[in-house]
Amino acid sequence: MHWFANPARFMRIAEKLLPWVAGAAVLSIAAGLYQGLLTSPADYQQGETVRIMYVHVPSAWMSMFCYMTLAVASASFLIWKHPLADVAAQAAAPIGAGFTAMALITGALWGQPMWGTWWVWDARLTSVLILFFLYLGYIALVNAFDEPERGARAGAILALVGVVNVPIIKFSVDWWNTLHQPASLTRLDAPAIDPAMLSPLLLMALGFQLYFVVVLIIRMRAILTARRIRALHMVEPGVESGD
């Protein structure tokens, strides 16, 4: 990964990859929405409400994936001092917060007709809400210091401490009696979902992951550009005084 440590090299590679990844993301999400909303069958118990799953489940997956990306980048920043690691972490945090908020909102929209309530202090729901607050806490902490280095270090420590919440989210339905249904795709025998529903679900998951890569690249480029402008502004007074 140190081969990507040069910001200029990263910017060149990102510029070439961005249109291809963006195109693949649009196609995957469009195909997933078409199948999920128009061609997949309604569930025999949930009816048409099951279609919320095609947004809710990939969003929930991405909320954890984004946090693991944030944690790995934070560890790389603290341990190996990778020059782009904190950039990747700061770029990933708002995206992960967005996916987590989408998972919570769509979960509430699904829960009201299925459970008869918008919210319940279920183990899975509560741990996902904590994940959302961890994202917000990271974003606030990084921007709470005048020195960017101190903010990045403090945020990285918080991100690593918060990793303990990810396995709690994943296994909460197995460890405690909850209203939330257990896993349907990661069973050892076979996915407990019809292939007609599985196909759009996986397409949406792929599309969301590609979307994450697209926005991550865009945000990383924006942060690097902002840092370069800030560095130039810090140099200018010295140049003028030397004249």
The total number of residues shown for the chain amounts to 243
Query: Residue with structure tokens 């700061």?
Result: 90
Separation CA 189–CA 202 (nearest Å) = 18
pLDDT of 2 > 60? The answer is: no
Cα 90 versus chain centre, distance: 12
Instruction: Give pLDDT, residue 101.
Output: 98
Rg of the chain on CA atoms, in Å: 21
Task: Report residue 88's pLDDT band, with 50, 70 and 90 as the boundaries.
Answer: very high
Instruction: Give pLDDT, residue 151.
Output: 93
CA distances 23 to 29, 86, 103, 128, 191, Å, are 10, 27, 24, 30, 29
What's the pTM value of the predicted model, to 2 decimals? 0.88
* Residues of the chain above pLDDT 90, percent: 58
Task: Report residue 196's pLDDT band, with 50, 70 and 90 as the boundaries.
Answer: confident
Task: Report residue 201's pLDDT band, with 50, 70 and 90 as the boundaries.
Answer: very high
pLDDT of 16 > 60? The answer is: yes
Per-residue model confidence as pLDDT tens digits over 139-182: 999 999 988 889 999 999 999 999 999 999 888 766 656 656 66
Q: Please, which residues have CB within 8 angstroms of residue 31's CB and are 6 or more apart in sequence?
A: 200, 203, 207
The amino acid present at 198, given as its one-letter code, is: L
Instruction: Give pLDDT, residue 211.
Output: 98
Instruction: Give pLDDT, residue 241.
Output: 46
Q: Please, which residues have CB within 8 angstroms of residue 24's CB and are 6 or more apart in sequence?
A: 210
Q: Where are the domains of the chain?
A: 11-183+197-242
Check if the beta carbon of residue 143 is closer than 8 Å to that of residue 108: no
Instruction: Give pLDDT, residue 181.
Output: 64
* Best mean pLDDT range from 17-21, 145-149, 230-234: 17-21
Separation CA 86–CA 73 (nearest Å) = 6
Separation CA 122–CA 105 (nearest Å) = 15
Separation CA 142–CA 88 (nearest Å) = 13
Q: Which two tokens stand for residue 230?
A: 């800030």
Q: Determine phi and psi for 43, rounding to 5 degrees.
A: -80, 145
Among candidates 23, 55, 58, which has minimal Cα distance to 36? 55
* Residues of the chain above pLDDT 70, percent: 86
CATH of domain 11-183+197-242: 1.20.120
pLDDT of 1 > 80? The answer is: no
Instruction: Give pLDDT, residue 239.
Output: 47
Would you tell me how many other CB atoms lie within 10 Å of the CB of residue 239? 9
